[in-house]
Structure 1
Amino acid sequence: MSTDTDTGEQARVRPSATDELNRASGLGTRDLVATVATRRPQAVGLVVDALTGPEAHGREVTELLQLVVRTAKATIEDCDSAGVTVVQEGTPFTSAWTDERTLAVDRDQYDVDDGPCLHAVRTETCVRVTVAEAMQAWPDFTRAAQEDGVLAFLACPLVVDGGRFGALNLYSRSRDGFDDDDEALATLIGRIASGLVAGQLRQHRSATLISQLEEAIASRAVIEQAKGAIAVVRQVTPDDAFGVLRTVSQETNVKLREVAARTLREFGAKLG
């Protein structure tokens, strides 16, 4: 992995005329995916089935991105947590995630305005680093991530219609980090995800997409507040509190945001 000795930043690898190179492996995307298709055909098949099959049809952008992170965690062996960062008008936020650790590590990056995820977005190349390598480039972020138990990072950009949409972020608790096959699978997932989002953009105006994302942010805020209330009242962890909300949502067939809003109203009434 080459590094600019003056800035401490990884030197950018220029893409070729026909196929961009991935920063970490130095391979072209086509070569990278072709190699993993030979070595791990079952994993590639699962990715394609999940993201191009019936489950991906007719979904809004936020639902598609949630499907993307679930697929990444299920198919990439070294991945313990996954999320998607979306950047709108220069502001990053997490639109999909697999667990609380994802949110915590993403926030660590947003707080210092740098890290593997944001670097992948800005350079439009994959970033794959162990905790030791990340410490050289982003010491403040990396120290915070270590406290959350994350020891390796893999981020692949999501480029939609030529624009920087965001990044797929993978986190691992393994010191060995991610390998070329992991990067290849993440690259494949990222490419398909970018195509899915682009398809939504072609069907809806940009204002519709922004509205969906803003609504998603509002929903997340309500859910986070409800989790906090349940955690305090029941003396449980945030993950267990989220499990309570999810169970009620599934059993009553009511959207998670509505369950969270109702929980907050009930909690407020008790305090009143």
Structure 2
Amino acid sequence: MSADTDTGEHERVAAPGADDLNRATGLGSLDLVTRVATAQPAAVGLVVDALTGPDAHGRDVTELLQLVARTATATIDDCDSAGVTVVQEGTPFTSAWTDERTLAVDRDQYDVDDGPCLHAVRTGSCVRVTVSEAAELWPDFTRAATADGVLAFLACPLVVDGTRFGALNLYSRSMDGFSDHDEALATLISRIASGLVAGQLRQHRSATLISQLEEAIASRAVIEQAKGAIAVVRQVSPDDAFGILRTVSQETNVKLREVAARTLREFGALLG
């Protein structure tokens, strides 16, 4: 169990309000990395190796989030369970988890529509509370979480391209809760994870766009060939030939490319 370090920048209070939940990470990325690397160099090395090394390459978003959850559990001493909540169209769900306890506590939050991970998503700030502090903020959720054996909570938002994508959720069975160093390391993990997810989503969008462009080019080639064939066989202009294809497409409710491909097959059969 690591001890909290008094930096003089954040005061720990017994009963936090909404503005008191982000205690250790009001830092820029460079300052954050410097602080964590100085305090926990081995843990930072493991995080960087896990999330930027070969194991992180070629994974889809769900696999990346599972890797993030495992990495958090492996590198943060006070973390017994971890998961990632993703919010789509206002609905939260658990996309990655390390054990059944994670799923149970996440469901406890979703059921009452409140708790540390949802607060982190909605505010864009880290949430770090012990069970006694959580009981004052979210009594219904805390009763259920305590029954599942969780006594401390740490949630860090995942912000992807300016959008609050979800949160990294850490749970502890320790009454002492998480430390400043735990929160700083979790924030570092969540920031790297946000970048990984953003990269994957951009890659997916790029791949989809390339596929659409390739399909459009292929379609155009088939249509041009069909136009040429119709123009030769019917002795009409290319524009008139295209008009014939378009009319057939509209009347039969078949895509223009499919009409063109069928036309080429029919002409090929006639010539054959």
| Distance (whole Å) between structure 2 residues aligned to residue 149 and residue 47 of structure 1 | 27
Report the CA distance between 1:94 and its aligned residue. 0.1
Amino acid at match of 2:153: F
**RMSD, aligned α-carbons:** 2.1
Q: Aligned residue for 2:40?
A: 40
**8 Å CA contact retained: 2:32, 2:184:** yes
Does residue 1:27 correspond to 2:3, yes or no? no
User: Which residue of the partner structure matches residue 166 of structure 2?
Assistant: 166
Q: Could you say which structure has the larger radius of gyration? A: 2
TM-score by length of 2: 0.68
CA contact (8 A) 2:25 2:183 kept: no
1:32, distance to aligned residue in structure 2 (A): 3.3
Pairing 1:149-160 to 2, within 5 Å after superposition: 149-160=149-160
Q: Secondary structure at the match of 1:170?
A: strand
- Following TM superposition, the consecutive aligned residue runs of length 4 or more in structure 1 with deviations greater than 3 angstroms are none
Contact 1:29 1:187 survives alignment (8 Å): no
Cα distance change, pair 98–29 in 1 and its aligned pair in 2 (3 A):
farther
1:193 CA drift (Å): 0.5
Would you say the 8 A contact 1:131–1:142 is kept in 2? Answer: yes
Work out the CA distance in 2 between the residues paired with 1:136 and 1:2: 16
Secondary structure in structure 1 of the residue aligned to 2:18: coil
Aligned positions of 1:186-265 closer than 5 A: 186-205=186-205
Deviation at 1:24, TM superposition (A): 2.1
Q: How many residues align?
A: 196
**Cα displacement (A) at 1:26:** 5.5
SS at match of 2:149: coil
Of residues 11, 14, 31, the one that matches 2:19 is 11
CA contact (8 A) 1:2 1:11 kept: no
SS of equivalent residue, structure 1 residue 11: helix
| Amino acid in structure 2 at the alignment position of 1:201 | L
In structure 2, the residue matched to 1:122 is: 122
SS at structure 2 position matched to 1:167: strand
Q: Deviations over 1:240-265 (max 9, x none)?
A: xxxxxxxxxxxxxxxxxxxxxxxxxx
1:97 maps to 2:97: yes
The 3-state SS of whatever aligns with 1:176 is coil
* 1:128–1:155 CA contact under 8 A, matched in 2: yes
In the alignment, structure 1 segments of 5+ residues that lack a partner are: 13-21, 209-272
What's the counterpart of residue 53 of structure 2?
53
Q: TM-score, normalised by structure 1?
A: 0.68
Q: Which residue of 2 aligns with 1:182?
A: 182
**Residue 65 of structure 1: how far off its partner (Å):** 0.4
Say if 2:147 is the partner of 1:139. Answer: no
What's the offset of the Cα at 1:36?
A: 1.6
The percent identity for this pair of structures is 79
